[in-house]
Amino acid sequence: MTRRIGVGTESPTDAFFGELAARGREPLLKNASGAVRFDLVDGDAVEHRCVTMRDGEIAVSHKKARADAVVRLDKATFDGMASGRTNAMAAFLRGELEVEGDVGLVLLFQRLFPSPPAGATSVGRSAKRGIP
């Protein structure tokens, strides 16, 4: 698989994982230990991101590796979470994420998603997404 390079063309998902891999450490995950794999569905294609966490150290791979928790979702949904437009817990309750395995790890991982863009959240989702 090829990763597109360059800020302008990069999807929020790729930017999120790229930045995470570059950081290497994350105090928010200090108590997380294990691997979470995201199976990102994009039409017929499925991409994988596997994040290994140990004592705040993080490694990211694109392999379909064994993991303690597997989250299957549309890549578009991940784009939303990675850009702060979609709240992960609400998306989970809506059934947009399928989680297998250690739910606690996923709960800790979602701490890393950014805040919603300014002005986007004061009235909730209906106004945000314009869905009737």
Partner 1 sequence: MSDGLVQILDGNTFVVSDGRGDIESSATDPTGLFSFDTRFLSTWVLTVAGTRLTALSTDDLQYFEARFFLVPGTGTVYVDSDLSVIRERAVGDGFHEQLTILNHRGTPAELDVRIDAASDFADLFEVKDALAKKGLNKSIVEGGRLVLRYERESFVRETWISASAPALIDEGGLSFAVTIEPHGEWTTDLDVVTAIAGTGERREHPKYGRRDRTARPNMAQNLEAWISHAPSIQCDWEPLTGAYRRSLVDLAALRFTTQTMPGHALPAAGLPWFMTMFGRDSIFTSLQALPFVPELAATTLRALGERQGTRTDDFRDEDPGRILHEMRYGEMTAFEERPHSPYYGAADATPLYLVLLDEYERWTGDRELVRDLEFEARAALRWIDEYADLQGNGYVSYKRRNAETGLENQCWKDSWDSISYRDGELPGFPRATCEIQGYVYDAKTRAARLAREVWRDPEFALQLEGEAAALKRRFNRDFWVADGRFFAVALDADGRQVDSLTSNIGHLLWSGIVDRSKAKAVARHLLGPRLFSGWGIRTLAEGEGRYNPIGYHVGTVWPFDNSFIAWGLRRYGFRAEAARVASGILDAAPFFDGQLPEAFGGYPREMTKHPVRYPTACSPQAWSTGTPLLLLRTMLGLEPVGDQLVVDPALPSRIGRLELLDIPGRWGRIDAFGRGRYET
Among 12, 58, 97, 109, binds partner 1 (CB under 8 A): 97
Nearer to partner 1, 17 or 113 (CB): 113
Regarding 76 and contact with partner 1 (CB under 8 A), the answer is: no
Q: How many residues bind partner 1 (CB under 8 A)?
A: 34
CB of 99 to partner 1, least distance (A): 6
Residue 64 near partner 1 by CB under 8 A:
no
Say if CB 60 and CB 29 are below 8 A apart: no
Of the candidates 76, 79, 71, which has an alpha carbon nearest to the alpha carbon of residue 16?
Answer: 79
Quick one: which segment of 10-18, 47-55, 59-67, 122-130 binds partner 1 (CB under 8 A)? Answer: 122-130
Phi, psi angle pair for 100, to nearest 5°: -120, 140
Strand partners, 38: 49, 71
Non-local (6+) Cβ contacts of 64 within 8 A are: 37, 39, 48, 50
40 contacts partner 1 (rule: CB under 8 A): no
Per-residue binder mask for partner 1 (CB under 8 A), 7-26, x = binder: --------------------
CA–CA distance, 85 with 117 (Å, rounded to integer): 7
100 interacts with partner 1 by CB under 8 A:
yes
